[in-house]
Amino acid sequence: MGSVYLMEARRGPGRRAGETRTREAILDAARRRFGEQGYDGATIRGIAADAGVNPALVHHFYGTKERLFAAAMRLPVVPSEIITSVLGAERDRLGPGFLPRIGEILTGTMLRAWDVADIRTAFLGLLRSAATSDQGVVMLREFVTSTIVASLTQVAGLGDDAEGRYRATLVASQVVGLGFARYVLGLEPLASATAEELTKAIGPTMQRYLTGDIGPESPANPANPESPESPARP
Amino acid sequence: MGSVYLMEARRGPGRRAGETRTREAILDAARRRFGEQGYDGATIRGIAADAGVNPALVHHFYGTKERLFAAAMRLPVVPSEIITSVLGAERDRLGPGFLPRIGEILTGTMLRAWDVADIRTAFLGLLRSAATSDQGVVMLREFVTSTIVASLTQVAGLGDDAEGRYRATLVASQVVGLGFARYVLGLEPLASATAEELTKAIGPTMQRYLTGDIGPESPANPANPESPESPARP
């Protein structure tokens, strides 16, 4: 799949030199602002000001903030668009059969995306930047929360509340760890397992995190304040 | 807990200056050899030669290669010793009740170890070094495989075969991802969930990876070559 979601390649030869310079100025400004202010803090208006262009031009070139971020970070795909389109298509196709299989579908989608070298490289680049710089951490945390967690809660029909976000961040923990163990550390035999094998092993984990029992005392269900274990303080 | 397993603090004031210099020379040599040759490739004999001392002295000071590695990497604990002693104690205490609860016990042990700042810092230091250097990758991969995966398969009674290692590396993927999401990225509400909440949510994942159904086509059970889906090639 992957290639369907790859962002449009730059039209180098056919593009006027002035437009190319303007785009580069916007992407430079975006990288700086995202790095300094994080994903949520950076605005298209501020990035446009730094690049000396009208905000409307930034919207014209890149559309949404997420697409601008993806272009600035050289991500070949826009993560929430993959989640929404692939999982949305499966939801439409399977109807009520979708939710009981969402863990398996999500795991398979992710592993097939990582099979595309450009996507894998970009994902690992974000992980490395978060592992090594505080700027990278803020950027990646807010990006994951605002785009991936948000689109996942939406497509899985989770509430946009503490429980929905807890479930989505549990999923994120297994996703990040799988990528790290498989592609950074290369732990065997995990690293050379096929996507099908891993979908069988890890799909049920995703399924439980998204729709199953994750414990009565999740952050979404704070312990009963009147329970005997936590008496009101005098 | 944690503190019980902290390595013996250096006896700075009471130690002769010559011994301190010798220990530093050994640790310097160890860091260099582990970095260049990986955990498996580096030998106590080679490290001793670089430090200009007798291998017996290295054994006298540090005991095993794992303890030397832990000292050189400034790990405050020896991971396989935590796994073996804590889980081993629970196994002795619970008898046949141990294996059905191993996922919960392992998750709780890990989260309590990470509550100790020095342990958390050392764990994240290893992750960062793997995220940023090829030397770090080789060192961490071999260390995880030779010590953590090995002691986990042993204490969980997994076979030392492909299936046992696959199960242990699935566990490793969730452990690494939980640490990364919780402590590096600080994804909320996962980051501020309590150890008890996370044990409820993630314990069953560990349990299934260690003892449950992880799919008929795991690397340990290669697809039947005579199955209809994969006919012999002409």
Question: What's the confidence (pLDDT) of residue A148?
Answer: 82
Q: How far apart are CA B209 and CA A208, in angstroms?
A: 14
Beta carbons of A205 and B201 less than 8 Å apart: no
CA distances from B44 to B38, B51, B114, B164, B191 (A): 13, 10, 29, 28, 40
Answer whether A189 touches B (CB < 8 Å): yes
Q: Which residues on B lie below 8 Å from A150 (Cβ)?
A: none
**Closest residue of chain A to B203, computed from CA coordinates:** A214
Q: How confident is the model at residue B26 (pLDDT cuts 50, 70, 90)?
A: very high
| Nearest chain A Cα distance for residue B150, angstroms | 12
Average pLDDT over residues B226-231: 38
Tell me which DSSP letter residue A10 carries.
P
Q: How far apart are CA B177 and CA B32, in angstroms?
A: 28
Q: How far apart are CA B96 and CA B140, in angstroms?
A: 34
**Closest residue of chain B to A175, computed from CA coordinates:** B177
For tokens 């997994």, the residue is: B158
For B161-196, write each residue's pLDDT tens digit: 889 999 999 999 999 999 999 999 999 999 999 999
SS (H, E, C) A181-232: HHHHCCCCCCCCCCHHHHHHHHHHHHHHHHHCCCCCCCCCCCCCCCCCCCCC
Q: How far apart are CA A45 and CA B234, in angstroms?
A: 63
**Closest residue of chain B to A136, computed from CA coordinates:** B185
Q: How confident is the model at residue A2 (pLDDT cuts 50, 70, 90)?
A: very low
For A154-174, write each residue's pLDDT tens digit: 888 888 788 999 999 999 999
Q: Which residues on A lie below 8 Å from B177 (Cβ)?
A: 172-178, 180-181
Q: How far apart are CA A28 and CA A66, in angstroms?
A: 15
Tokens of A164: 């929905």
The set of residues, in sequence order, having a beta carbon less than 8 Å from that of B187 and lying 6+ positions away, is A141, A144, A145, A149, A169, A172, A173, B181
Global pTM reads: 0.80
Q: What Rg do the C-alpha atoms of chain A give, in angstroms?
A: 20
Q: How confident is the model at residue B53 (pLDDT cuts 50, 70, 90)?
A: very high
Beta carbons of A201 and B216 less than 8 Å apart: no
Beta carbons of B180 and A177 less than 8 Å apart: yes
Q: Which residues on B lie below 8 Å from A144 (Cβ)?
A: 185, 187
Higher pLDDT, B55 or A217: B55
Please give the ipTM for the structure prediction.
0.79
Q: How far apart are CA A129 and CA B232, in angstroms?
A: 46
Beta carbons of B189 and A180 less than 8 Å apart: no
For A56-106, write each residue's pLDDT tens digit: 999 999 999 888 988 888 887 788 888 888 888 999 999 999 999 999 999
Select from A197, A198, A210, A211 the residue whose CB has the most chain B CBs within 10 Å, as the one to mutate to test that interface. Answer: A197
SS (H, E, C) chain B: CHHHHCCCCCCCCCCCHHHHHHHHHHHHHHHHHHHHHHHHHCCHHHHHHHHCCCHHHHHHHHCCHHHHHHHHCCCCCCHHHHHHHHHHHHHHHHHHHCHHHHHHHHHHHHHHHHHCHHHHHHHHHHHHHHHHCHHHHHHHHHHHHHHHHHHHHHHCCCCCCHHHHHHHHHHHHHHHHHHHHHHHHCCCCCCCCCHHHHHHHHHHHHHHHHHCCCCCCCCCCCCCCCCCCCCCCC
Beta carbons of A132 and B132 less than 8 Å apart: yes
- Using a 10 angstrom Cβ sphere, with 0-12 exposed, 13-18 middle and 19 or more buried, the burial of residue B114 is buried
Whether pLDDT at B207 is above 50: yes
| Nearest chain A Cα distance for residue B101, angstroms | 15
**Closest residue of chain A to B140, computed from CA coordinates:** A185
Whether pLDDT at A231 is above 90: no
Answer whether A99 touches B (CB < 8 Å): no
Largest CA distance in chain B: 76
Higher pLDDT, A8 or A45: A45
For B116-131, write each residue's pLDDT tens digit: 888 888 888 888 888 8
Q: Closest CB to A166: pick one of B177, B186, B193.
A: B193
Beta carbons of B208 and A209 less than 8 Å apart: no
Answer whether B7 touches A (CB < 8 Å): no
